[in-house]
Amino acid sequence: MGWLACLAFSCAGSSDVDWPAYLGDVGSSQSSVLAQINVENVGELELAWIYHSGDADPENRSQIQCNPLVIDGVVYGTSPQLKLLALDAARGEELWRFDPFDGDFRLFGLGVNRGVNHWQDRIVYAAGEKLYAVSKDTGQQIFAVDLHAGFGERAEGLYVSSNTPGVVFENLLILGHRASENLPAVPGDIRAFDLRSGELVWSFHTIPQPGEFGYDTWPEDAWERTGGANAWAGLSLDEARGVVYVPTGSAAYDFYGGDRIGQNLFANSLLALDARTGERIWHYQFVHHDIWDRDLPAPPNLITLNGVDAVAQITKSGHVFVFNRDTGEPLFPIEEQPVERTDVPGESTWPTQPVPTKPPPFARQRLTTENIRSFALERFERLRPSVPFTPPSREGTVILPGYDGGGEWGGAAFDSETATMYVNASEMPWVLTMIDVMDGVPHTGRLAYATHCLYCHGVNREGDPIGVYPPLTELDDESYVRDVVREGRGVMPTFAHLEPEVTDSLVAYLFDREDPFPDNAPHAPLPFMSTGYHRFVDEDGNPAIEPPWGTLSAIDLERGEISWQVPLGGETGTENYGGPTVTAGGLVFIAASKDEKFRAFDKKTGELLWEVDLPAGGYATPATYSVDGRQYVVIAAGGGKIGTPSGDAYLAFALPE
């Protein structure tokens, strides 16, 4: 064992080093003190074990996005069908599994889970619309809690889930959740549950109610009818201070806010909350009145810079904002820059948006005639100019970085030794186009489709070109379609709130039948909707922008400068999902790329030192740990994104024994 490994084990106090929390620790560092695997020997890595869960979707719509925990020699993760797994960390052998759906996965379809929590004798995670506590030793259920808790009658029949774990503080699980990005949607309340009983202890209203701070940044009745502003991406915790740091997303509906005119606190904000009570300490809003789907995509990193305890937040736009952890004061100046006003009727954009002066963005901000590929030039000239915060438009607006970033849910890694952040980014332009949903809509079902389904499945029901959302043009089972509308499937939320006659009309439209209720007066909750999530790509799915299409960057956060940036995913780079992990051995481990490889880079230079083919895409963040003095790096290979095949495996790599 070399001196680096000895130093790491000495710092850890044992030859067994866990990965005890989502993204490594409650501060979301995505880092490890382990150094047995280092820049000199990483090329010798070999497969130590592989585990197959056996429940991947044969139609390639399932994924594993899980960053597993490793505690006392046991790996805790989830399968494509959201079964909770316990594996021997040294051999990869299954110890037990817990199935929240009792074998009937149709109850939730092909959802995803990004991690789990640990408290005392139990593992806690969400699957479907419930929060489960499971014995970490036996896999037996301890309790289950309905995730609608605390929302009241307005949430009845509405979609709610939580695919990213919260944080554990004392006896509390502090949790965010997923909500529909359309209306109606549950509100984004941040909630704390008692880990002993599952009871709700406190809630923080991200859409303020009368008398609460921020209430005047919304219409008076917004708290009763508007949803979203939810913390779907995960949280970070300062245990010593008793403060939880909460990144929130957009208010519903994502792309039109004529019904929520105002600044819209606390959507698109970083909140510092008292972990015991949920009281607000400070906040910062990154996008005012968001109509671009600029959710905060990952938990912030709790870091220390030049002796100042700080919190660093990455964004989908490819920026890093850094704040004093106690006061919320920026460590680098932030400018409120004027932005273009909207011409969509009924909408009112906020006149300025914040942009940090340092560090520079880690993803390109504009698609121009200089960096666009030739095939896209003719279409590009018909779109709105590609400028940050150009509002949604009826002719089409380029969104770059796209809806998925820039930065995304894989998060950023922070190396405290060098004060360097490591973050991957996709360089995929998307096109946002708005339509008048009442234009030529006598059919109630067609209007219901335009309101609830169009932005995923397309104007003509053609689906997503790369297969994220399936086409609805050749359906053959009305009963199945009706069940999916009522219950939801996978990433599709339930639409149980629709009146039965509206559901009947929607099903009739999907099967090209006349409206069974022609005398109904069609009504749309919003006058304008997006035509869907459209990547700006060629016939092979490659982005309209010149390469690189995916990058990995090292950012010196003390100086506010990018130290290096390299393509991620071969020479051109690829769109990527999942994040990096940095180690004391001088390495950055990351999978994430569309070419289905797992890689290690030199953290000082960005040099590629090792790569290996995975059985499916590794769209997850890796974990590293040691058992009996041997360091392992484990990655979930679940595939299923960006048109790639689904997988069911966890793979652990180590040096030869």
Q: What is the pLDDT of residues 7-35, one digit of tens each?
A: 443 344 448 999 999 999 999 999 999 99
Mean pLDDT of 610-616: 98
Mean pLDDT of 556-560: 98
Q: Of 525, 542, 566, which residue is a domain's last?
A: 525
Q: Provide the residue range defining the domain that includes 289.
A: 115-296
**443 inside domain:** yes
Nearby residues of 510 by Cβ (< 8 Å), 6 or more positions away:
445, 449, 461, 472, 475, 481
Q: What is the mean pLDDT of residues 350-367?
A: 98
Tell me the pLDDT band of 485, cut-offs 50, 70 and 90: confident
Lowest mean pLDDT of 63-72, 198-207, 533-542, name the range.
533-542
Confidence of residue 579 (pLDDT cuts 50, 70, 90): very high
pLDDT of residue 108: 56
Residue 519: which residues within 8 A CB-CB, separation 6 or more?
none
Cα(515)–Cα(254) distance, integer angstroms: 29
- Model-level pTM? 0.94
Q: What is the per-residue pLDDT for 219?
A: 98
Instruction: Give how many domains the chain has, as a whole number.
Output: 2
Q: Is residue 339 part of a domain?
A: no
Last residue of a domain, one of 525, 543, 562: 525
Average pLDDT over residues 413-436: 97
What CATH number should be reported for the domain holding residue 195?
Answer: 2.40.128.630
Q: If we measure between CA atoms, which residue out of 301, 298, 295 comes closest to residue 269?
A: 295
Which pLDDT band, with edges at 50, 70 and 90, does 443 fall under?
confident
Residue at 280 is within a domain: yes
Confidence class of residue 487 from pLDDT cuts 50, 70 and 90?
confident
Q: Choose among 237, 80, 252, 76: nearest CA to 160.
A: 252
Give CA separation, 235 vs 21, 275, 300, 598, in Å.
Answer: 11, 11, 7, 26
Mean pLDDT of 318-347: 98
Q: Is residue 614 situated within a structural domain?
A: no
The answer to whether position 278 is within a domain reads yes
Contact 472, 510 (CB under 8 A): yes
The CA distance from 455 to 543, in Å, is 20
Flag whether 214 is in a domain: yes
Is residue 595 situated within a structural domain?
A: no
352 falls within a domain: no
Give the chain's mean pLDDT: 94
Instruction: Give the per-residue pLDDT at 470.
Output: 83
Cα–Cα dist 611/598, whole Å: 5
Rg, C-alpha atoms of the chain? 24
Q: At which of 503, 525, 547 does a domain end?
A: 525
pLDDT band at 4 (very low <50, low <70, confident <90, very high): very low
Q: What is the pLDDT of residue 3?
A: 35
pLDDT for 528 equals 95
CATH number at residue 501: 1.10.760.10
How high is the pLDDT of residue 313?
Answer: 99
